[in-house]
Chains A and B, each alone.
Chain A
């Protein structure tokens, strides 16, 4: 069974530029999550989708971050404009609706200079 796919793996941009990340979850997983993990910290949930609907985006900085999952499968997370503090690893995870175990993709390491 293929795992969660993410691209790109690494991205370096200058502040105020925009960037987009892509995620393709495990086949059949209805729930998709985007996390931000800053070095030395645990993952912080940015947004959670159930099929193509948003379940939780309470911690998503909506003035600069956006995400979509149009067909209930793959998803895109965008940052526009980027700030220095956005430097982090962006993790995508997916799960069945139950029993909720999440499986993570390899992540995208973003560096904002």
Chain B
């Protein structure tokens, strides 16, 4: 079982729609959760992080965490073609061990 699992996609949404990206993790002791965006040929760029159950909003982005279900999601409202990228979910476990998922490719169609 992988530490962090993501659907590889591609997820295609029309411009202006809400994109929903999901991530599950295996270790209940995981403490922090991060979303990164990675454009093709570029390095990952931090979008946001979440520690507590519930929602956290930052502009057009909302991260949702459900520790009981071991589930993290990222919602992108009013999706733009410039949001087309691979989105990586990362998890911090005990002793500051980090694990990344393989990413979900998002295509936003104009």
Interface SS of chain B:
strand
Q: Which residues of chain B from 3 to 35 have any CB-CB distance to chain A below 8 Å in the complex?
A: 4, 32, 34
Are B44 and A56 in touch, CB under 8 angstroms?
A: no
* Size category, A interface: 20 to 34
A104 adjacent to chain B (CB < 8 Å): yes
In the complex, what's the smallest C-beta–C-beta distance from A2 to chain B, in angstroms?
Answer: 15
* Size category, B interface: 20 to 34
Q: Known: A99-B32, A99-B49, A101-B49. Contact between A45 and B43, CB under 8 A?
A: no
| Total A-B pairs, Cβ < 8 A | 54
Q: Known: A42-B88, A43-B44. Contact between A100 and B103, CB under 8 A?
A: no
Name 30 interchain pairs, CB-CB below 8 A, sorted by A. Answer: A31-B96, A40-B102, A41-B102, A42-B4, A42-B100, A42-B102, A42-B103, A43-B88, A43-B100, A45-B98, A45-B100, A48-B96, A48-B97, A48-B98, A50-B96, A55-B95, A56-B95, A56-B96, A99-B32, A100-B49, A100-B96, A101-B34, A102-B34, A102-B90, A102-B98, A104-B43, A105-B43, A106-B42, A106-B43, A107-B43
